[in-house]
Structure 1
Amino acid sequence: MLLENKYAIVTGATRGIGRQIALTLAKNGADLIVTGTNDKLLQQLAEEIQSLGQKCFVNIGNIADPAAAKALAVNVEKNFPQIDILVNNAGINMRKPTLDMLDDEWQKIIDVNLNGTFYTCKAILPYMVKQEHGVIVNVSSSTAKTPHRNATPAYGASKAGINYLTQHLALEMAKYNIRVNAVCPGPIETDMSKQWTTEYRKKLLERIPLKKLGQPADVANMVLFLASDMAVFITGESININGGIYMN
């Protein structure tokens, strides 16, 4: 129970990696607020977390809207005595080459992935500053570090922005005993990967040194580690979780 008596927020928790992160934190003793735009899926997740003996509250909202972040802060104040952990997982992707991409498509991805992470951090950090402790884990991507033909340029740019934001906040907030790190998943088996062709999957596996796709649990376990006291001397890092397909 690495997170016993801890209070956490996970954004974008409706499915895939975000859902697994929320469950992993709950299994390790954390009470949660889970956020997203699909009320039905969030309620199902909340019930599963509550069945584990942990409290779980649902917060509906689009993090691209600054008002949603402020509403989340109100939810925290209403239901939790403090906030120990914030996991910024919410994000979107699109698969379009640069010249086919519309201006509003670029803006939407930047708004959700980068601006949404910033808005949420800005809304929750005052609580962490006041209590003089806290952990933020941002879910980035290996695409932030090296280009990927199967991702739109806005996605890589937004995730690279998250990596810089992670470092900046880690530096700025260290004096308040607040740690800020990021995880950078590579090929992970999610609903999106089920859309891949057999040929694409085969070629991808050939490029991965460990010869397998990652699982949502692989990302969730790293988030758990960074959120726990096992990582008290780690801040400002963007950690790859990709089977070795990109190393730095």
Structure 2
Amino acid sequence: MAMTHSWSDEFALNLFNMKNKVVVITGGNGTLGAAYARTFCLHGAHVIITARNNTTLDEVCASLSDTPGTCEAFCSDVTDRTSIANLVKEVDRKYGHIDVLINNAGMAFRAPAEDMPEEKFEHIMSVNVTGTLIPCQEFGKYFMKQGKGKIVNTSSVRGFCGHPDGYTAYAASKAAIDNLTKQMSTEWAIKGAKEGFTININAIAPTLIKSPLTQEICEDPERIAPFLARLPMGRVAETKDMVGLVMMLSSSASDFINGQIVYVDGGCTAG
């Protein structure tokens, strides 16, 4: 069977090859961040996890000593441009290239819509939205000079549809991330076509994920019921449900995927 001129068996065999790739994960000390780090390390990548808490970062790194890859901790604040610029410089100094940025840092605060405190709303928007914008900008400029790079943002089904249980601030922040992802991908695709670089920027949008942070919801029959009612597969997500998509969007398999919000939601947004 004839293939296009750009086809090669080597490309097909290495679609998901992450060996020696340099992957930076913000919020790398959380449940998802640690799972991403272990997955990439198991595939031989050099992983840099970053957050404001050095103790928990070191714990994650120590837990990955049995993998083929490497993991290094770096304290930074995603809402501080100087901090993120220093992160880019340090990773480049050590490895000479950066392949992937995973914007995993974020937070939530729930309160009834009519009672959502302005200061809490602004704080959520700062961490989730500005804390995605600044890393995208700083790593994006680096990727432009390097010629290529991949960015995976973290959205949520809450950016698409509302839900009970006080998600006003969180939902607004994730909707902003959706459109930030689309806008940046469009601008940089057009600019890159002219200037000779390629940046793929996409977002994953999970439903409720079982973790220590969501334990109070998952174990409360009354609070979990509205979630399950909107999940055709009849269960909330597990950490393992997220890692495959993140790996794909970070690899050569996603070279023509750009500006997409990919729902990992058990069918929640399908009907």
Report deviation, 1:139.
Answer: 0.8
- Which one-letter code corresponds to 1:193 in the other structure? T
Asked if 1:118 is matched to 2:133, the reply is yes
Distance 1:151 1:206 in 2: 17
Percentage of pairs with the same residue: 29
User: Paired residues, what number?
Assistant: 248
Distance 1:18 1:57 in 2: 13
Alignment of 1:73-222 (within 5 A): 73-174=88-189, 175=192, 176-196=197-217, 197-222=220-245
Distance 2:123 2:206 in 1: 21
TM score, norm. by length of structure 2: 0.86
Q: Which runs of 5+ in 2 are unaligned?
A: 1-15
Report deviation, 1:221.
Answer: 1.3
Q: Specify the structure having the higher radius of gyration (Cα).
A: 2
Question: 1:228 is matched with which residue: 251, 266, 271?
Answer: 251
Distance 1:208 1:31 in 2: 36
Which shows bigger deviation, 92-101 or 6-15?
92-101
Which shows bigger deviation, 219-228 or 46-55?
46-55
SS in 1 for 2:176: helix
Distance 1:124 1:231 in 2: 18
Report deviation, 1:227.
Answer: 0.7
- Which one-letter code corresponds to 1:211 in the other structure? G
Alignment of 1:229-244 (within 5 A): 229-244=252-267
Alignment of 1:25-64 (within 5 A): 25-64=40-79
SS in 2 for 1:150: coil
Distance 1:39 1:186 in 2: 28
Q: Which runs of 5+ in 1 are unaligned?
A: none
Report deviation, 1:46.
Answer: 1.2
Deviations 1:88-130 (A, max 9, x none): 0100001112222222111110110000111111111122111
SS in 1 for 2:270: coil
Distance 1:106 1:203 in 2: 23
Deviations 1:31-57 (A, max 9, x none): 011011221211011122333132222
Which shows bigger deviation, 192-201 or 210-219?
192-201
Deviations 1:130-153 (A, max 9, x none): 111110000111100011222431
SS in 2 for 1:4: coil
Distance 1:67 1:182 in 2: 24
Question: 1:18 is matched with which residue: 22, 27, 33?
Answer: 33
Report deviation, 1:247.
Answer: 2.3
Distance 1:148 1:62 in 2: 30
* Cα root mean square deviation, aligned: 1.6
Moved over 6 A (4+): none
Which shows bigger deviation, 162-171 or 202-211?
202-211
Distance 1:206 1:109 in 2: 27
Distance 1:155 1:202 in 2: 20
Query: Is residue 26–residue 32 contact of structure 1 (8 Å, CA) maintained in 2?
Result: yes
Partner of 2:12: none
Report deviation, 1:178.
Answer: 1.0
